[in-house]
Amino acid sequence: MRHAKKTPRHSVDISEEAGIRYLHFGSEWVQGAMRIARPWSLELAYTREMLAGLLLRPPAQWPRQALLVGLGAGSLAKFIYRYLPDCRITVVEINPQVEFVARQYFKLPDDPRRLDVVIGCGADYMLAGERPFDLILVDGYDPEARAGALDTAPFYSACRARLSERGLLAVNLLGGNKNFQGSIALIEAAFDGRIAVLPPCDSGNTIAYATGGLAVEVTLDEMLERAKQLKKDFRLNLLPMLERLAASPLLAGHQLRI
């Protein structure tokens, strides 16, 4: 297990309200959440939309390898672990205290055969390796909402190089961040314009999807059918996101292409 060059000094705090446990990095800014009665569910809307890739690729036998940059409360890792049993998960987290808290207070599974947590810098991990992934989820911010090396041209280029032929990259972007448009431009450049920026959540989080391999060509009707099945099988409700998507310019001819 690799360790970060320098562990962040901010505190990792927990709060609870109305049956929901929250993770904070030394501020009121929420870095993760878990409904205590449903620890496997995705409580925050933006985490659900980070898995919208399940609408863009046929879900049978996909993804088999997932990489998560940023652990937080472990919500995405737990969901994939429970509902996509054929998928092996690698998580890169820079702060070892975050892993400890996720295991002690947010029910992160201890199963290194399927869920490998690497303590280190996500940018270093991406630039140093060659192992391909079907799904890369990037959600790494410090207490001041800065992504640092995770929002640079070399990092996004490395993400493209690490995607399999059917691979997808999903990045959580903060719509109110002054670097928002710059982040989109960096992803567009790294992926030759093959990017889809979903309409923002109510929280202001905006998920950008990109691919450099097999094209995404999926109709609204196909996504609706998949969304209904995901809601039935996994309690993953992406229908509100599809309502916003249907009203956006992304669906030219009722089809999404990346």
Question: Mean per-residue pLDDT for 208-237?
Answer: 96
pLDDT of residue 1: 40
Q: What is the mean pLDDT of the chain?
A: 92
Q: pTM for this one?
A: 0.94
On whether residue 114 sits in a domain, the answer given is yes
pLDDT band (50, 70, 90) for residue 10: confident
On whether residue 127 sits in a domain, the answer given is yes
On whether residue 1 sits in a domain, the answer given is no
Q: What is the pLDDT of residues 123-138, one digit of tens each?
A: 999 999 999 999 999 9
**What's the domain count of the chain?**
1
- Does the pLDDT of residue 4 top 50, yes or no? no
Q: Which two tokens stand for residue 86?
A: 């054929």
On whether residue 3 sits in a domain, the answer given is no
Rounded Cα gap, residues 61 and 55, in angstroms:
13
On whether residue 6 sits in a domain, the answer given is no
Rounded Cα gap, residues 27 and 31, in angstroms:
10
Place of tokens 């820079």: 94
Residue type, 99: E
pLDDT band (50, 70, 90) for residue 178: confident
Residue range of the domain that includes 100: 13-257
pLDDT of residue 7: 64
Question: Mean per-residue pLDDT for 154-172?
Answer: 98
DSSP string, 150-219: GGSHHHHHHHHHHEEEEEEEEEEEETTSTTHHHHHHHHHHHTTT-EEEPPPPTTSEEEEEE-SSSPPEEE
- Where residue 73 sits, what CATH number does that domain have? 3.40.50.150
173: β partners: 206
On whether residue 4 sits in a domain, the answer given is no
On whether residue 72 sits in a domain, the answer given is yes
User: Is 139 among the residues known to form the active site?
Assistant: yes
Q: Which two tokens stand for residue 258?
A: 């990346």
On whether residue 37 sits in a domain, the answer given is yes
Of the candidates 110, 116, 139, 233, the residue annotated as catalytic is 139
